Amino acid sequence: MSLSARGALLAVLLAAVVSAACGTRLFGKQYEYEEDLYLSLDGSATVIVNTSLAALAALRGLDFQPENGRVDRDAIRAAFTTPVTEVTRVSRPWRRAGRQFVQIRVDVADVRQLGNAAPFAWSHYELSEGNGEHLFKQQTGPSALRPGTLKNVGWTGKEIVAFRLHLPSRIKWHNSRDLETNQPSDHERGNILRWEQYLADRLDGAPINIEVRMESQSILFRTLWLFAGAFLAAVTLLVLLIWLTIRKGAKQEAMSKAGSASPE
């Protein structure tokens, strides 16, 4: 590989590492605000919020504008820490399109209580079980924007807000639709569904209604059972082969002794 080719490859790898570290997507859509909800069938969940500080202020009324160029990560942690949520990470800020972004990782023991936490109070969450399936619903209502408070931060209104679900079991039905075509969208690899909205619509409070039906047996549980079944079958086959080998050997030995004991 030539020196120039190595340099180009190194630049791509470095950009990918930086992109992963700061929470942006080098290849694919970039979001002004996004919530990733990693749901478990027992109701526990992890929420990862990637957002610009400007969107956090306009959409959720949480203003953390930097002082002397420094973002107060402790203040962000305090705002997302509530009786029902635990903050496990607040990232270092990164910059895109002239705006500063941050990532907040939050754990919640019961997703149905997540709406009681102020940063997520614009949504109502439901999780129920019946007939061998789990039903998850999320209704997201108005933003925290107040007339005359929107600042000029370079938005066009076509920036995208996203809500993504990372689900633990096979999806049976969902109402996710493609933002541009308004056609039903397929789930992504890893059982991920996405609901998108233009920032202008989210600022105006256009509702987002999320609904998913999924199996009540997790993919991990099923995989473990398949692995256990395959392992048991392999052990059974091995034991059977050993038994047949021993039986054949015993039979041959008996025939040999019988032959040697017969009169000449």
Task: State residue 244's pLDDT score.
Answer: 73
pLDDT score at 218: 67
Share of the chain above pLDDT 90, in %: 61
Q: Does residue 264 have a pLDDT over 90?
A: no
The Cβ-side half-sphere exposure at 36, using a 13 Å CA radius, reads 13
Mark 190-209 as b/e (b = at least 16 C-beta within 10 Å).
Answer: ebebbbbbbbeebbeeeebe
Residue 137 phi/psi, 5° resolution? -130, 145
At 12, is the pLDDT very low, low, confident or very high (cuts 50, 70, 90)? very low
pLDDT for the residue 4: 45
pLDDT tens for each residue of 98-152 = 999 999 999 999 999 999 999 999 999 999 999 999 999 999 999 999 888 898 8
- What is residue 186's predicted lDDT score, i.e. its pLDDT? 81
Nearest Cα to Cα of residue 58 among 141, 120, 150 = 150
The closest of 86, 124, 89, 105 to 38, measured between CA atoms, is: 105
Pairwise pLDDT comparison (54 vs 250), residue with the higher score: 54
- 23-32, 125-134, 155-164, 172-181: which has the minimum mean pLDDT? 23-32
The pLDDT tens digits of the residues spanning 91-105 come to: 999 999 999 999 999
**What is the C-alpha separation between 262 and 255, in angstroms, rounded?**
11
Whether the pLDDT of residue 255 is over 50: the answer is yes
Is 50 exceeded by the pLDDT of residue 203? yes
pLDDT beyond 70 at 68: yes
Q: Where are the beta strands (DSSP E) in 109-149?
A: 123-130, 133-140
Taking only the tens place, the pLDDT of each residue in 37-53 is 999 999 999 999 999 99
Decide if pLDDT at 222 tops 90: no
Confidence grade of residue 257 (pLDDT, cut at 50, 70, 90) = low
Q: In the beta sheet, which residues pair with residue 127?
A: 136
Confidence at residue 21, expressed as pLDDT on a 0 to 100 scale: 46
Q: pLDDT by residue (tens digit) across 225-250?
A: 344 445 556 666 676 677 677 877 77
